């Protein structure tokens, strides 16, 4: 089975089968899943495959349907329509405790009256696993989460990061086929959250269990995911590896939500094989690889974009080499950030282009008021379908 994108929705082609991306075995399959609350769709005709052993993230703003999707997969909500498959079995209306799934919630939900060992062993004891096996598995999972000597600690003696690891260990010790994580790092401070992103990905790689992670934090999704989806209004607007979705966004929403983008309104002028020429509303032209045009355009109008870090900024009298796009403007704001410089460059239209330049100490940075030339390789240019309301201006700062 393959997936194709139609008006921002990932739809399945062909019959349901056992193979997913690149022939991998599918662990989770959603088929036309819809969930409505008071006739308002929270999830709208969702089709999605998640492969075995994959770290997969549902990314989007509050209210986009990502948590509702996770809750339906876990059995905490029933879909209004559609089908949910886990490991090839239909679990659409199956109770949570009958699914080979565990969940780590935002609150961790640790038992304060039990020590670390008993918190982790709780699920094993309910399943009547014998005592030697309980001790072996609890000890092994504490090694995995790098807390080997914490068996007799009380919950209130643990830091936030340690509590998160214990909640993760309690879920993993049951060896589920799928682990659901509902924004488990939202309560941590920024430094600890960054550390835990690396740890969580490392743990997932070691245990080999499918992780389905829900977050509104772009950095979390980009850092940890093998693949991710960007959701909006209950639908999938972009899907793929973090690099694919970032470098080649399919819609204006994906381009602006996942990182910073400069988007310019234009119209397709001509297609010359591998390169398409787009006329901007101010008379300038940009070239876009034809392969990076959005599918099934209903009009010639598109948003043409480039990421701020892809742009080179030089003096206005410099020349541009072949196979590069270019725009001229004046530096309105120049900000030093330590690792680099950030510029707002005002175009003739009065709108700004954002530029990130790395601090490599070779040249003097442009200053406010300087006339500059912006350029970037054609292959780093993309085109997207504009939102229904249209782009915010001729050139818009993300």
Closest CA relative to residue 55, chosen from 259, 189, 220: 220
pLDDT of residue 13: 37
| 206 CB-side CA count, 13 A | 14
CB 208 within 8 A of CB 230: no
Mean pLDDT of 281-291: 89
pLDDT of residue 297: 73
Residue with the bigger pLDDT between 270 and 234: it is 234
For residue 213, is it left (φ>0), alpha (ψ between -120 and 50) or beta?
beta
Domains of the chain and any CATH numbers: 2-247 (3.40.50.300), 259-397 (2.40.50.140)
Both tokens of 78, joined, read 């029933």
Q: What secondary structure letter does DSSP report for 349?
A: T
Residue with the bigger pLDDT between 205 and 23: it is 205
Distance CA 147, CA 166 (A): 8
Residue with the bigger pLDDT between 364 and 2: it is 364
Confidence band of 52 (pLDDT split at 50, 70, 90): very high
Distance CA 103, CA 78 (A): 16
Give Cα separations from 371 to 158, 347, 348, 360 (angstroms).
56, 10, 11, 21
pLDDT of residue 192: 83
Closest CA relative to residue 286, chosen from 391, 349, 377, 355: 377
| 328 CB-side CA count, 13 A | 11
Contacts of 235 (CB under 8 A, 6+ apart): 8, 9, 44, 45, 46, 65
| Res 225 pLDDT > 70 | yes
Both tokens of 292, joined, read 């990076």
Q: pLDDT per residue over 296-352, tens digit each?
A: 776 778 889 999 999 999 999 888 889 999 999 999 999 998 888 999 999 887 779
| Res 7 pLDDT > 50 | no
pLDDT of residue 150: 93
Q: pLDDT per residue over 95-143, tens digit each?
A: 998 999 999 987 778 899 999 999 999 999 998 999 999 999 999 999 9
Residue with the bigger pLDDT between 188 and 299: it is 188
Q: pLDDT per residue over 239-269, tens digit each?
A: 999 999 999 998 899 999 998 999 998 899 9
Could you tell me whether strands 395-397 and 262-272 are parallel, antiparallel, or unpaired per DSSP bridges?
antiparallel
One DSSP character per residue, 283-299 reads S-EEEEEGGGSPSS-SS
Distance CA 64, CA 140 (A): 38
One DSSP character per residue, 253-284 reads HHHHHSS--EEEEEEEEEEETTEEEEEETTS-
Distance CA 96, CA 116 (A): 24
Residue with the bigger pLDDT between 91 and 363: it is 91
């Amino acid at each position: 089975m393959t997936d194709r994108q139609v008006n921002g929705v990932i739809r399945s082609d062909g019959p349901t089968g056992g193979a997913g991306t690149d022939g991998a075995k599918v662990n989770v399959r959603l088929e036309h899943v819809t969930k409505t609350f008071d006739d308002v769709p929270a999830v709208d005709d969702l089709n999605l495959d998640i492969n075995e052993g994959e770290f997969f993230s549902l990314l989007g703003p509050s209210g986009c349907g990502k948590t509702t999707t996770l809750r339906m997969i876990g059995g905490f909500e029933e879909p209004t329509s559609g089908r949910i498959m886990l490991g090839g079995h239909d679990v659409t209306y199956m109770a949570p405790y009958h699914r080979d799934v565990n969940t780590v919630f935002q609150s961790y939900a640790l038992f304060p009256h039990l020590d670390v060992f008993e918190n982790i062993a709780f699920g094993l004891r309910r399943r009547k696993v014998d005592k030697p096996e309980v001790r072996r598995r609890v000890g092994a999972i504490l090694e995995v989460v790098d807390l080997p000597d914490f068996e007799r600690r009380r919950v209130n003696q643990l830091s936030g990061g340690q509590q998160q690891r214990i909640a993760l260990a309690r879920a993993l010790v049951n060896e589920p086929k799928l682990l659901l994580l509902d924004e488990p790092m939202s309560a941590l401070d920024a430094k600890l959250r960054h550390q835990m992103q690396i740890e969580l990905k490392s743990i997932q790689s070691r245990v080999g269990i499918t992780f389905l992670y829900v977050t509104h934090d772009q950095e979390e999704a980009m850092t940890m995911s093998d693949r991710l989806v960007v959701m909006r209004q209950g639908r999938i607007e972009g899907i793929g590896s973090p690099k694919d979705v970032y470098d080649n966004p399919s819609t204006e929403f994906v381009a602006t939500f996942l990182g910073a983008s400069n988007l310019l309104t234009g119209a397709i002028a001509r297609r010359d094989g591998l390169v398409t020429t787009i006329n901007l509303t101010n008379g300038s032209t940009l070239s876009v690889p034809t392969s990076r045009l959005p599918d099934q355009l209903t009009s010639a109008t598109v948003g043409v974009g480039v990421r701020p870090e892809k742009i080179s900024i030089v003096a206005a009298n410099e020349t541009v080499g072949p196979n590069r796009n270019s725009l001229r403007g004046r530096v309105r704001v120049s900000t030093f950030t330590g690792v680099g410089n950030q510029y707002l460059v005002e175009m003739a239209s009065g709108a700004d282009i954002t530029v990130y330049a790395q601090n490599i100490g070779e040249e003097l940075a442009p200053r406010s008021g300087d006339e500059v030339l912006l350029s970037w390789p054609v292959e780093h240019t993309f085109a997207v379908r504009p939102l229904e309301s249209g782009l915010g201006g001729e050139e818009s700062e993300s």
